[in-house]
Chain A
Amino acid sequence: MSAQAKTVRITYREAMRQAIREALQRDPRVFLMGEDVGKYGGCYAVSKGLLEEFGPERIRDTPLSESAFVGAGIGAAMGGMRPIVEIMTVNFSLLALDQIVNNAATILYMSGGQFNIPLVIRMTTGAGRQLAAQHSHSLEGWYAHIPGLKILTPATLEDARGMLWTALEDPDPVLIFENGALYNMEGEMAADAGAVDIDKAAIRRPGTDISLMTYGGTLGKTLEAAAELARAGVNAEVVDLRTLRPLDDATILDSVTRTHRALIVDEGWRSGSISAEISARIMERAFYELDAPVARVCSAEVPIPYAKHLEDAALPQVPAIVEAARAMVGEHG
């Protein structure tokens, strides 16, 4: 590797598109299916240009029936294909819950191990774009409740570029949650970026005083908060969970064991959330390492408001993260 590794300037959306294109090129069993993924180029323009490049056999527009096309994806996976099913947003995935939870997650078990479901479902999640209550859910924590599923939450360009291929290689259903606020995120990425692991959390910023744990759409805010904390003399570590199921307990516990404080930032609602699960695991397995109660910054427990100022107030924001962290660390950094 040369010291001057070549990088490209790219957006999260383009990184994801590169990943899909590469998958389509590498494996003839891969195809993309979903609402408006073809002619329209995807509701978030992720699949723009792919229909022209790969044709309607492999870039398939579907009727507006999540249950039907997720079910078709499960069938295709059982039949030997490697489908990528795009559900426009997590909000609409509720119409396909039966297919995802009752079928995709259980068929391997129900068939006595005869049928794997090598299916990848991508969907947008998150709020913050004034789309109002019915289009602003963050329900990835719900899906992380289900045995039989893997739940990925790429928060960086590298993960947007690299998680899909690894997910397709997985013999079992994998759900990828792309936070809608990230599509326009732009930055430098190695030109040769490729597949990445999907079973480890990542330390995005090493620190000693407190562990800020987050994933997906709130990683950027949390890193910003850590930078602000650093200016106040608090050296915060930022853990990007990356995969919500299975959780990388080792990295989580190791971080807490070093910093003795954990603050979890989660765009989901607090009650019964993935942040609750992480908090419980820390309590169960690192209790005697804790120098302060585990704390959480989550979304307010309301339907996400439409009005900009109210929506901002309902979601985890940098000042709230900074304030919570400073309270935990106290006057001694």
Chain B
Amino acid sequence: MPALGADMEAGTVLQWLVKPGDAVKRGDIVAVVDTEKATIEVEIFQSGVVEKIVVPEGEKVPVGEVLAIIRADGEAAAPPPAEKPKPAAAPPSPRPAARPPAPPPTGEQAPAPPATKAAAVAPSVEKPKAPPPPARPEHPRLRISPLAMRVALELGVDVSKVKGTGLDGAITRADVERAAKAAAPTPAKVAAPEAAPKPAPVTPPVEAPKAPAPPKPAVSPAERQAMMRKAIAAAMGRSKREIPHYYLSTEIDMSRAMEWLRAGNLKRPVTERLLYAVMLLKAVALAVREVPEMNGFFVEGAFKRSEEIHVGVAISLRTGGLVAPAIHDVDKKSLSEIMVNLRDLVKRVRAGVLRSSEIADATITVTSLGEEGVETVFGIIYPPQVALVGFGKIVERPWAAGGMVGARPVISATLSADHRVSDGHRGALFLAAIARILQEPEKL
């Protein structure tokens, strides 16, 4: 289960778009996952053949859990039924399908396991070193020892049905082991410990009769909205707690840009006309090249610069709330390409279907409230990013230049930046770069 946002802890597999035996290639969409914020398409980061679906549709699992096993190209298939754990020698071995994209946003979260390593962990299911995931919320609080709980997770024992014989009826390891023995041929569901998810090769036959829970109908819009509000609250609360923001603002003369855009759009078919927003996005991406400390993630107490420039675009939802999915490599794309991306993104955001890489990859965010008539926005940084650029609406203003006053279209650009990473001086250079780039629209 990939981490699809700074505060995501778990996700529900709504639908599998592949089945065992299907060939997949890097970038394919293999599953649809429901998080607190949105329905998200999970991309695959490894070409190969789907060997096994580990988490059935309808099941909710914590971030870091193995969703499916992909056999890498050119690797022999595992003996189909009763798969024996095979030695983890061969380097290209089955790999967990979903790799959490992007660096794990916070330390609070399950560390994103490096996918390529995961498959190489010892095949035995005994004694994983890492502690089990936090107690499952579906059980009421049980009297069970921590060791027994750990063993139960390893053996796939449903502890709610185990009778405790320990102190005051507490369930002990011996109780769990006895229950596991009694229920011998049940499909053991191996909970991958968060630090080392591994393929779950267990002895019982694959067709073991675990009736997969029917995919739950998507949550009601009201619930969805409440969950999204909660997720936004968590991310924004964390941002304001942890990130020392500083704010800068400048006014940008948009006369050249708007004139160039108007002239250009006249030559384009209506469906391919550009919105000025794409110029802003491109200008931000190009300015990032000059001031790279605006672009990347602050994780584990240090700034990690990103070489790629993926601009997150804050898009509000009609039902309330917002998301900020990424347009990838904005600095390298033409305005037309960015426009196509933006249209597609807005459409899918409104439909509630985003891709995992879009959710987690943004390295800097742009927000614009111009449509709503606002002139200036001082935004809150979306952690673990370190900067956010805000644009207001374009208004005609008296503008003095060369001793003359004239009316010009002007937009206010603001920067919210992380003072742990950059200082006002660099922030000012960044805003100035955006303003300068927008004076030469033909170069965008």
| B118 interface residue per 8 A CB criterion | no
Contact string against A for B residues 147-185, beta-carbon threshold 8 Å, 1 for contact and 0 otherwise:
111100000000000000111001011100000000000
Contact A293 B132 (CB under 8 A): no
Please encode chain B, from 129 to 142, with 1 for each CB lying within 8 Å of some chain A CB and 0 for all others.
00110000000000
> Which residues of the other chain, A, contact B150 by a CB distance below 8 angstroms?
288
Query: A259–B303 Cα gap in the complex (Å)?
Result: 44
B167 touching A260, Cβ below 8 Å: no
**Is residue B146 within 8 Å, beta carbon to beta carbon, of the partner chain?**
yes
Pairwise interchain contact A290-B146, C-beta atoms closer than 8 A:
yes
Contacts of B341 in A (CB 8 A): none
Assess whether A260 is in contact with B165, with CB atoms less than 8 Å apart. Answer: no
User: Given A260-B173, A330-B172 in contact, is the A290-B167 Cβ separation under 8 Å?
Assistant: no
> How many positions in chain B have a CB within 8 Å of any CB in the partner chain?
15
- B15 touches A (CB below 8 Å): no
Complex contact A332–B145 (CB within 8 A): no
A328–B166 Cα distance when bound, in Å, is 7
Chain B nearest Cβ from A284, distance in angstroms: 12
Q: How distant is the Cα of A111 from the Cα of B269 in the complex, in angstroms?
A: 83
Question: Which residues of A are found within 8 Å of B170, using beta-carbon distances?
Answer: 292
CA distance A35 to B165 in the complex (A): 56
Asked if A115 lies at the interface with its beta carbon under 8 angstroms from chain B, I say: no
**How many A residues are at the interface, by size bracket?**
10 to 19
Contact A291 B172 (CB under 8 A): yes
Q: Is A327 an interface residue (CB 8 A)?
A: yes
- Across the interface, A292 reaches (CB within 8 A) one of B131, B132, B145, B149, namely B145
From residue B118, how far is it (CB to closest CB) to chain A in Å?
21
Cβ of A306 under 8 Å from chain B: no
A332-B146 contact given A292-B167, A327-B167, CB 8 Å threshold: no
Which B residues form the contact surface with A (CB < 8 A)? Answer: 131-132, 145-150, 165-167, 170, 172-174
* Closest 10 A/B residue pairs (Cβ): A291-B147, A291-B145, A332-B174, A288-B146, A291-B173, A330-B166, A288-B131, A291-B172, A288-B150, A287-B146
What would be 16 A-B contacts, judged by CB atoms less than 8 Å apart?
Answer: A287-B146, A288-B150, A290-B145, A290-B146, A290-B147, A291-B148, A291-B166, A291-B174, A292-B167, A292-B170, A292-B172, A293-B167, A327-B167, A328-B167, A330-B166, A331-B165
Given contacts A289-B146, A290-B145, A291-B148, 20 further A-B contacts (CB under 8 A): A260-B173, A287-B146, A288-B147, A288-B149, A288-B150, A289-B147, A290-B146, A290-B147, A291-B145, A291-B146, A291-B147, A291-B166, A291-B172, A292-B145, A292-B170, A292-B172, A293-B145, A330-B165, A330-B174, A332-B165
